[in-house]
Amino acid sequence: MKNRINQLLEEISQLAATNQEELEALRIKLLSKKGEISILFNDFRNVANEEKREVGQLLNELKNAAQDKINELKESFSNSGASDQKTDLTRSADPIKLGTRHPLSIVKHEIIDIFSRIGFTIAEGPEIEDDWHVFGALNFPPEHPARDMQDTFFIEQNPDVLLRTHTSSVQSRVMATQKPPIRMIFPGRVYRNEAISYRAHCFFHQVEGLYIDKDVSFADLKQALMYFAKEMFGPDTQIRLRPSYFPFTEPSAEMDISCNLCGGKGCQFCKHTGWVEILGCGMVDPNVLENCGIDSKIYTGYAFGMGVERITNLKYQVKDLRMFSENDVRFLQQFESAY
């Protein structure tokens, strides 16, 4: 019997199975009531008394070895099945809805992508700024209305510190620390002390651009803005530039695009003019260049700025600015396939 036990121990150490059916057949062969180990236990009564202790220990060792081997093979099959399982049984039975980026983020990144194709890089700056970078360096005279408390959020403890009213403050920082050529865009959030309504908010988002180099002209500005308008609103989009005034550019202009709803024919959205204003622009005032340490006799440049909310309104016909900041899931779900 001892020889048979040792033989079975050797066989058990070499056991293998490729599927559950083979494993079950091995279990029946060894551990069932009519299996080989059960037969050896039945024959145990025929063993001589002086050998019973030794043979009994061997039989228990054989049974434990067989059981451990069967469990080991069973566990290996269980782990393999878990890794191949394609259905996550822990998931909720309810369908999981797709999320989406915010429409302002979608449009902002689209603007960034368009200008990056023509060589513009990104620069960002602090939202809490000082008076010099927001106003002084950009040629705002002391009596300019933008300095009035009605338009700007000043920090009460320090009237020289404020929430930036435009991302032009990043332009002044870049011009003061970098040498031309400079070709950058400046996306970010800005703040103005305005009453909240469907067409105005106390905070909103801008993307401004700046290009400074030798021999930069207004024609370069027009070409860049034409490219942007056609990429953003479609190849049939037309632009027009109207004279305007900004303290930091001279000459200055406001840019309109042909209404993307009626194609310039006139509708209620464009107030039957065929045109919709989207941004302000102009050649950088020489005083701004000098304030930031750039020689205006050698370098010229252009700047432009647009509200991301304004572009988003035109692209998706969102008529109430407050919807962008109310976190209404029903509103955000409309943009699941917008990118």
Q: Dump the DSSP string for 96-122.
A: PPP----HHHHHHHHHHHHHHTTT-EE
- Does 83 score more than 70 pLDDT? no
Strand order in the sheet with 249-258: 121-122, 182-191, 203-213, 300-307, 275-284, 249-258, 239-246
Higher-pLDDT residue of 208, 21: 208
pLDDT (tens digit per residue) in 121-147: 999 999 999 989 999 899 888 887 777
What secondary structure letter does DSSP report for 135?
Answer: T
85 lies in a domain?
no
Q: How many domains does the chain have?
A: 2
pLDDT (tens digit per residue) in 162-195: 899 999 999 999 999 999 999 999 999 999 888 8
Mean pLDDT of 83-102: 69
Is the domain of 128 the same as that of 265? yes
Higher-pLDDT residue of 33, 115: 115
Is the domain of 19 the same as that of 139? no
User: Cα(215)–Cα(98) distance, rounded to whole angstroms?
Assistant: 50
Is residue 269 within 8 Å of 262, Cβ to Cβ? yes
CB atoms within 10 A of CB 120: 19
98 lies in a domain?
no
pLDDT (tens digit per residue) in 262-300: 777 877 777 888 898 999 999 999 999 999 999 999 999
89 lies in a domain?
no
41 lies in a domain?
yes
Q: What is the CATH number of the domain that holds 323?
A: 3.30.930.10
pLDDT (0 to 100) of residue 319: 78
- Does 211 score more than 60 pLDDT? yes
Is the domain of 126 the same as that of 209? yes
pLDDT (0 to 100) of residue 300: 96
pLDDT (0 to 100) of residue 221: 96
Q: Give the chain's mean pLDDT.
A: 85
Q: Which of 257, 262, 263, 254 is nearest to 276 (CA)?
A: 257
Q: Tell me which H or E stretch contains 182.
A: strand 182-191
pLDDT (0 to 100) of residue 264: 74
Is the domain of 55 the same as that of 118? no
User: Cα(115)–Cα(304) distance, rounded to whole angstroms?
Assistant: 12
pLDDT (tens digit per residue) in 20-62: 888 788 888 888 877 888 888 787 777 787 787 887 788 788 8
Is the domain of 230 the same as that of 261? yes
Higher-pLDDT residue of 61, 2: 61
Q: Which residue has the tokens 């943009």?
A: 335
Is the domain of 64 the same as that of 171? no
Is the domain of 72 the same as that of 184? no
* Residue 149 binned pLDDT confidence (cut-offs 50, 70, 90): low
95 lies in a domain?
no
- Name 106's Cβ contacts closer than 8 Å, sequence gap at least 6: 312, 335, 338, 339
- Does 303 score more than 60 pLDDT? yes
* Assigned token pair, 140: 């705002």
Mean pLDDT of 298-326: 89
96 lies in a domain?
no
Domain of residue 176 covers 103-335
Is the domain of 34 the same as that of 129? no
Is the domain of 164 the same as that of 281? yes
Is the domain of 263 the same as that of 165? yes
How many alpha carbons lie under 13 Å from residue 163 in its C-beta half-sphere?
14
Is the domain of 7 the same as that of 74? yes
pLDDT (0 to 100) of residue 129: 92
* Assigned token pair, 58: 């061997």
pLDDT (0 to 100) of residue 194: 84
- Does 7 score more than 60 pLDDT? yes
92 lies in a domain?
no
- Type of residue at 203: F
Last residue of a domain, one of 29, 46, 80: 80
User: Cα(217)–Cα(222) distance, rounded to whole angstroms?
Assistant: 9
Is residue 269 within 8 Å of 241, Cβ to Cβ? no
Is the domain of 143 the same as that of 34? no
Please report the sign of the dihedral spanned by the C-alpha atoms of residue 211, residue 167, residue 314, residue 262. Answer: negative
What secondary structure letter does DSSP report for 261?
Answer: T
